[in-house]
Amino acid sequence: MTRRLRLGVNIDHVATIRNARGGDHPDPVRAAEIVARCGGDGITAHLREDRRHIRDEDLARIQAATDLPLNLEMAATEEMLEIALRHKPHAACIVPERREERTTEGGLDAAGQHNRLYPLVQRLSDAGIRVSLFIAPDERQIEAALLLKAPVVELHTGEYAHAVGEERAAELKRLADMAALAAKNGIEPHAGHGLTYENVQPVAAIPQLAELNIGHYLIGEAIFCGLEPAVLKMRELMDAARPSTSSG
């Protein structure tokens, strides 16, 4: 029996629209409340170094507004570490923000930054925060995550999402193989980036995946149909891709 796939909703782009006018509408906290109401499993928010969408004060407000676990996406910096330790989100997903921190596919270069990442992963873990590394679906990066003792990896689905035809099939196989490799080594695999109604189901069908994090497309759809219907439709598609699961 396949486990139910969790849906984390990334609400960053509600804040992008808010910040376009510098005020407080639309409020990402209201989005988090709607996600909680309609069966989302988590809220994902990226506090970027340049604060282009989520702001520092949003984190505590999101945490206060819902009981859903907060997955804080953060760069591997002292500043972000200090913020994470202060807010103690359920999970922290380490993401690359600078070009030199990325692998060719766009994920975190965990393999090339072991010495820098090791103490950071330790300090977050010691504080009870579940650490995830946002990596390309690449064997070298999974091995690096193992050495870093990260309990979770989030596989970057951007290459898959942008590919077409045979190339997409090859990217999907890479995701499936790396999800299996991570799970075999005791690491919980998640996935995200660029997922849409059209491309989510083959990824959702990968049995080892425990969670998908989806943002831009859902917030975009919400403009036309509302956030709740958008989240519910994504949930339905994910469940349909795993026929042995029931939501709830």
Contact positions toward ligand PXP, by CB under 6 A? 10, 46, 73, 93, 95, 134, 154, 192-195, 213-217
9 versus 29: smaller Cβ distance to ligand PXP: 9
Asked if residues 228 and 244 have their Cβ atoms less than 8 Å apart, the reply is: no
Helix axes 56-65, 78-87, angle to 10 degrees: 20
Q: Which of 14, 46, 44, 40 is nearest to 238 (CA)?
A: 40
Minimum distance from residue 107 beta carbon to ligand PXP (Å) = 9
Minimum distance from residue 199 beta carbon to ligand PXP (Å) = 11
Q: Which of 13, 156, 190, 193 is flagged as catalytic?
A: 193
Minimum distance from residue 244 beta carbon to ligand PXP (Å) = 25
Residue 216 a catalytic site member? no
91 versus 111: smaller Cβ distance to ligand PXP: 91
Return the H-helix or E-strand segment holding 171. Answer: helix 165-184
46 versus 235: smaller Cβ distance to ligand PXP: 46
Residue 114 a catalytic site member? no
Residue 193 a catalytic site member? yes
Q: Which of 73, 159, 188, 221 is flagged as catalytic?
A: 73
d(CA 156, CA 166): 19
> How distant, in Å, are the alpha carbons of 63, 84, 173, 188, 203 from that of 149?
27, 18, 25, 12, 25
Could you give the 3-state DSSP secondary structure of residue 121? Answer: helix
The catalytic residue positions are 46, 73, 193
